[in-house]
A and B are shown apart, each in its own frame.
Chain A
Amino acid sequence: MNIRRKLNSWTINVLLIVLVISLPIFIIYTGLIGNSSPTWDHITTNLLPQYIANTTLLVLGTVVLTLIFGISTAWLVAAYEFPLRKQLSWLLVLPLTIPTYIAAYAYSGLFEYTGPIFSFLRNSLHIDAGEINVRNISGAILVISSVLYPYVYLAARASFLVDSGRLFEAARTLGSTPFSNFWRIVLPVSRPAIIAGVSLVIMEVLNEYGAVKYYGVTTFTTGIFRAWFSLEDIQAAIYLSALLMTFVFALIIAERLQRGKKQFKTTSTDSPLGRYRLNGNLKIAATMMCLLPLLVGFILPVSQMIYWATFTFGKVINDDFGRLIVNSFSLSFGAAVICIIVSVLLVYSVRLSLSKRSELFSKLASLGYSIPGAALAVGIMMTALFMDQVILRSLNLTTGLVLTGSLGALLYAYVVRYLAVGYNPIDSGFKKITFTLTEVSRTLGISPLRSLFSINLPLLKPALWSALLLVFVDVMKELPLTLILRPFNYETLATRAFRYANDEMVPESAPVSLIIIATAFIPIILLNRKINQTP
């Protein structure tokens, strides 16, 4: 029997899932067909150049800083032995627990006239140094870089440890010094991994809303919000979203192309990098260099939040606070469960379809993660409005909204955006389960669906848990999608923190922010376990 039929039910499954997930993207592009409004002319003339300039500067600045922070620390912990190296190797990941908007609030407070730094200088050292205004684009670059550098750090460190060891040794036997080896061998070989890390940073910067809004930096994302909420022109919001998405897709294509021929497929086996023991001042300098990003990206903002929380805790803890926690946790859990179910169905269908095309299509489903939240929100809103019209027409009603402004639309948005986060660990998990197990069970008369429940899912448990956790935490931290799509008066921890900050009640946002940070700790502990398993 030819089981490689071109279109079997599993392939149709894959196509259906991909269609539902990518619908908002298509709908944004179909929205381009409409006529432009006078508002759009105003945007293109007066605002768009600034959006482009600021977004470009923000991306470039963040990329440079995250590269410096990420690569230098990754190289130190991978190649040298110095005090606290082992602890720092995972502590350096901690800034990832802090959403950028929370770091932005903390830094603004740290450096204001009445903040702890300048208060200490005035009161204890009698130095009136004024204040540093971080609420500008330079401040935004520094703050965003300080919490996003772990993306580069993790990618570079893994590559330094796994891919470079044997090549590094070979270069040394050929007379090349360790410093020269870093530039000539390690960095070029690790380039694809580092670029992958930088790509994640760029996606996060393009998705950024809370921090840039608070710091008064107008970017594409703030532009979308402005077009929609202030200028009340959805068509302009669609144009901006389409522009931003096109830029992201161009970036993805460029990233794929640069891999090209120079894929750097190493012919050598993995070999851990041997570490040099640093002595004297060098070892202290290495420890300090690694402590600096940790201090800037984690210790300082969290300390500021804890300081604020000590005197605002009583004020914000009330019945409403409990509701916020329930809202955030239930929404995150719901989105995570749906992402897991869709991911399992998608990966399993791809496996059973035995088709390369299905595999290719399934990759489309993970595109949502690269689309900035504000742009995606526009797409989801358009999709919801379109579906509502279909429902109304089929029920012969004239008014009413079913999906628009509902929790269902918000959950749909989360699934589109975070499916990739759940998909990747599940896909890796499935790859570890040999397909012959499913084939054997089928020869024993068990249907593929039963085989999924009785064979694959029990073996997939660790991957399912980690996928669930990763999506859960990402949804907890999410801001732009939730701000745009939440039902009227519905608040989560993230939107409440944002509201406090925008009402100039930043200290009140601290307890809420600390809960978000504490939740994000769980996957970091899991990540630490994984890091410890590597040499």
Chain B
Amino acid sequence: MANVNIQGIYHCYNSNSFELVIEHLEVKDGQTVALVGESGCGKTTLLRAIAGLECPSKGVIKIGETEVYSPSTFLPPEKRNVGLVFQDYALFPHLTVRKNIEFGIRQLTSEEKKKRFQSILELTNMREFIDRYPHELSGGQQQRVAIARALVCQPKVLLLDEPFSNMDEPLKIKLRSEIKELIDRTNTTTVLVSHDIRDAFAIADSIVILKEGKIEQIGSKDELKSKPVNDYVNGLVNQQ
């Protein structure tokens, strides 16, 4: 678990058609921050930059005390110890649930591996389908496996990319509370990306509103609701 510090990040896509400019953003130890905005506002790009899957043009990203990105440093994703849960879960289709979860902890001793595996099973409550293949699971079960696979590595930071998209409302409500509980119990620093403000309200301690690659406002649910800085934020937070 660690804090994430982002300074002066600039990223440009396709010859100036899109710019991501983040002057400063900090996610404290154990805090859950949600990046919210419309499609194409740069929230997933920022998440991928933290994971090391996207290389910004300039700026500094620190995870804990480690500088993972700066003009002179680039730590590859496999060395950052972040847990990224993709929008489509990206479960390895040729591996069972058990093998998927064990994928990131193969370097541990068998005893330590067993301990971690048991604890994540208890936490995520999926004992009954550990020998199934991903395509044999429901959407909600797949999501649990993806989160378990990320959490079992005890990542410094958990990154969730649109975890509730393509779900119907009752399932969304159920999974929001499940994820919130998991994050709270493991006390993991988390960055969540969503286009739906309700996801952020349900899970996040702090919410970052992004528009066209720039931060409009940062605040808690109450702060955003009571003191929106402009009409855009007001429209977004009071849409429900």
Contacts from A to B (Cβ < 8 Å)? 166-167, 169-177, 184-185, 188-189, 191, 261-269, 274
Contacts and interface: CB of A to CB of B under 8 A. Distances in A.
Interface of B: 51-53, 76-84, 86-94, 103-104, 107, 133-135, 142, 149-150, 153
B135 A167 contact: no
A267 B81 contact: no
Contacts of A263: 135
B209 to A, nearest CB: 26
Contacts of B81: 175
A98 to B, nearest CB: 35
A176 B92 contact: no
Contacts of B91: 267-268
Given A169-B77, A267-B135, A174 B86 contact: no
B89 A268 contact: yes
Contacts of B92: 167, 170-171, 185, 189
B153 A264 contact: no
A176 B135 CA distance: 23
A102 to B, nearest CB: 39
Nearest to A269: B88
A173 B82 contact: yes
Nearest to A163: B93
B135 A174 contact: no
A266 B93 contact: yes
Nearest to A168: B90
A262 B94 contact: yes
A185 B142 CA distance: 18
23 contacts: A169-B86, A171-B92, A172-B53, A172-B78, A173-B53, A173-B78, A173-B80, A174-B78, A174-B103, A174-B153, A175-B78, A175-B79, A175-B153, A185-B92, A188-B94, A264-B93, A265-B93, A265-B135, A266-B93, A267-B142, A268-B90, A269-B87, A274-B53
Nearest to B48: A169
Given A174-B103, A174-B149, A166 B88 contact: yes
A269 B44 CA distance: 15
Contacts of B84: 169-170, 173
Given A173-B52, A189-B94, 9 more contacts: A167-B90, A170-B90, A172-B76, A173-B150, A176-B103, A267-B93, A267-B134, A268-B86, A268-B89
Contacts of A185: 92
Contacts of A177: 78
Contacts of B142: 267
A274 B76 CA distance: 13
Nearest to B51: A173
Nearest to A265: B135
Contacts of A191: 94
B94 A171 contact: no
B212 to A, nearest CB: 24
A264 B134 CA distance: 9
Contact of B90 (A169, A175, A261, A265): A169
A266 B149 CA distance: 16
A166 B89 CA distance: 9
Contact of B88 (A184, A188, A261, A268): A268
Contact of A176 (B78, B80, B82): B78
Contacts of A170: 84, 86, 90, 92
A274 B82 CA distance: 19
A267 B135 CA distance: 6
A267 B94 contact: no
A415 to B, nearest CB: 38
A188 to B, nearest CB: 4
A188 B92 CA distance: 10
A117 B4 CA distance: 63
Q: Which of A169, A170, A173 has the most CB of B within 10 A?
A: A173
A261 B90 CA distance: 19
A184 B94 CA distance: 10
Contacts of A262: 94, 133
Contact of A267 (B83, B89, B103): B89
